[in-house]
């Protein structure tokens, strides 16, 4: 496996960063998770734009241009020899002294990993995933914008760990008001009376790129889709529920805590959206 690190492809064993990197010391950095299908990077411009926005939000100066990094992503994908896979694209603040201030970090580091990923077992895409409500809340947007994909995922990791201890693969995360924000690594959608709903990003959700794709699919298929504030009641009383994310893609949800959602099987709207998503990613309509 070849890793792109600070300007060149190196062997996995040589892809190392300093222990003084503030990415390691403080989680000071940002990242993207991107997929490629049939050798083509899915929604590349949107991922690149979100990555640069995240960097801007944390005042991280990127030592490469967008064009150079696009070429680097393509080079790393080509070097993997994989037709389909997952890219982890990371900016860290770089090595500095032990204080919090990034001013001691002279140059940010950039690395790109390309690998395979299977977030959930294949059968859950036909049977549905069970969610639990996490006791860990999403931080207020006033504390940390949910828009920034920072290397500080400890909030999500604690929710994920809590879920794993109880035998769940994913957890519903509420915001401080008790409204639905998202899941630990996925956006949430419900379907009620034929309308698709997803929480607005202001309720604590990442502006997920798969979320955007699903909203576009709804528009294309003539399925009404809106952003709505929702709580556990909304999810429990929904006809259908599904999650979206680059790694997860589109996955039906059949249960929240002890309650089946709808019939407990993936619903017809979810199945239509999932089918169109697969058409888009399978390469036919992938520009």
Catalytic residue set:
149
Q: How far is the CB of 205 from ligand PMP (least distance, A)?
A: 7
| Residue whose CB is less far from ligand PMP, 96 or 245 | 245
**Residue 210 touches ligand PMP, criterion: CB under 6 A:** yes
**Residue 76 touches ligand PMP, criterion: CB under 6 A:** no
**Residue 33 touches ligand PMP, criterion: CB under 6 A:** yes
- The residue from 21, 28, 130, 182 that contacts ligand PMP (CB under 6 A) is 182
Three-state SS at 54: helix
Site track 245-264 with ligand PMP (rule: CB under 6 A), x = hit: xx------------------
Site track 190-209 with ligand PMP (rule: CB under 6 A), x = hit: ----------------x-xx
- The Cα angle at residue 104 between residues 103 and 108, in degrees rounded to 5: 80
C-alpha distances in Å from residue 215, one per residue of 68, 80, 81, 284? 31, 31, 32, 19
**Contact present, 31 and 88 (Cβ < 8 Å):** yes
Closest CA to 140 of 203, 79, 219, 46: 203
Local structure of residue 178 (DSSP, 8 states): S
Three-state SS at 69: helix
Local structure of residue 102 (DSSP, 8 states): G
| Residue whose CB is less far from ligand PMP, 105 or 196 | 196
| Residue whose CB is less far from ligand PMP, 64 or 277 | 277
Three-state SS at 166: coil
Q: How far is the CB of 247 from ligand PMP (least distance, A)?
A: 7
Which residues contact ligand PMP (rule: CB under 6 A)? 33, 156, 182, 185-187, 206, 208-211, 244-246
């Amino acid at each position: 496996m070849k890793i792109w690190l600070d300007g060149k492809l190196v062997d996995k064993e040589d892809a190392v960063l300093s222990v003084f990197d503030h990415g390691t010391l403080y989680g000071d950095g940002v990242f993207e998770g991107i997929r490629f299908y049939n050798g083509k990077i899915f929604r590349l411009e949107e991922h690149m734009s979100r990555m640069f926005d995240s960097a801007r939000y944390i005042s991280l100066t990127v030592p490469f241009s967008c064009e150079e990094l696009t070429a680097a992503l393509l080079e790393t994908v080509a070097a993997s020899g994989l037709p389909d896979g997952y890219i982890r694209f990371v900016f860290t603040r770089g090595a500095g002294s032990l204080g919090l201030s990034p001013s001691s970090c002279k140059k940010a580091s950039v690395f790109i990993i390309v690998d395979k990923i299977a977030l959930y077992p294949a059968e859950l895409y036909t049977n549905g995933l069970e969610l639990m409500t996490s006791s860990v809340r999403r931080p207020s947007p006033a504390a940390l914008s949910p828009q920034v994909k920072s290397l500080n995922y400890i909030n999500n990791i604690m929710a994920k760990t809590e879920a794993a201890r109880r035998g769940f693969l994913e957890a519903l995360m509420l915001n401080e008001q008790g409204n639905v924000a998202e899941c630990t690594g996925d956006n949430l959608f419900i379907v009620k009376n034929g309308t698709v709903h997803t929480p607005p990003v202001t309720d604590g959700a990442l502006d997920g790129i798969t979320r955007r794709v699903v909203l576009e699919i709804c528009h294309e298929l003539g399925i009404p889709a809106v952003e709505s504030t929702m709580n556990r009641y909304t999810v429990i009383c929904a006809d259908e529920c599904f999650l979206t994310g680059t790694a997860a893609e589109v996955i039906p949800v059949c249960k929240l805590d002890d309650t089946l959602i709808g019939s407990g099987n993936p619903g017809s709207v979810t199945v239509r959206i999932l089918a169109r998503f697969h058409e888009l990613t399978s390469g036919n309509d992938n520009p």
